[in-house]
Amino acid sequence: MQSVFYLLDSAPYGSEKAYGILNAAAVSIRMDATVGLYADGVYLALAGQDTGLLGVPNLSDILYAYPELRVLAHEPSLVERGLMNRGLVERVELVDEEDFVKRALAADGLIAL
């Protein structure tokens, strides 16, 4: 497998899904790894997250720690949640529906937890 697309469609906090996907992607960076943020997964793209009160690690820090990871945010999901006027993590690329699906299908492997 040369490339893999990790789909995150659930909120980044409250379950282990986002943490698991980000760590799996981090160990897959030699395979052209892409993380696609879709539906509630787009909340991970928001800049300035403070998880101190939750007592959990800030998952957006992982995005900065692995610049080799390509991170895509599904623009319609951001619009549906009223997040388009919020600042995003600089490393996140905003893509429309067509481009998001095209990139997911172009990968050799698609992983969703």
The pTM of this model reads 0.92
Q: What Cα–Cα distance (Å) separates residue 80 from each residue in 16, 46, 55, 77, 100?
A: 24, 15, 28, 5, 16
Q: Give the whole-angstrom CA distance, residue 79 versus residue 75.
A: 6
Domain residue spans in the chain? 4-50+67-104
**CATH number of the domain located at residue range(s) 4-50+67-104 in this protein:** 3.40.1260.10
Contact 17, 7 (CB under 8 A): no
Report the alpha-carbon angle 71-74-92, nearest 5. Answer: 30
One digit per residue, the tens of pLDDT, for the chain of length 113 reads 799 999 999 999 888 899 999 999 999 988 999 999 999 999 999 988 888 888 887 888 888 888 889 999 999 999 999 999 899 999 999 999 999 999 999 999 999 98
Q: How far apart are the first and last CA of the chain?
A: 19
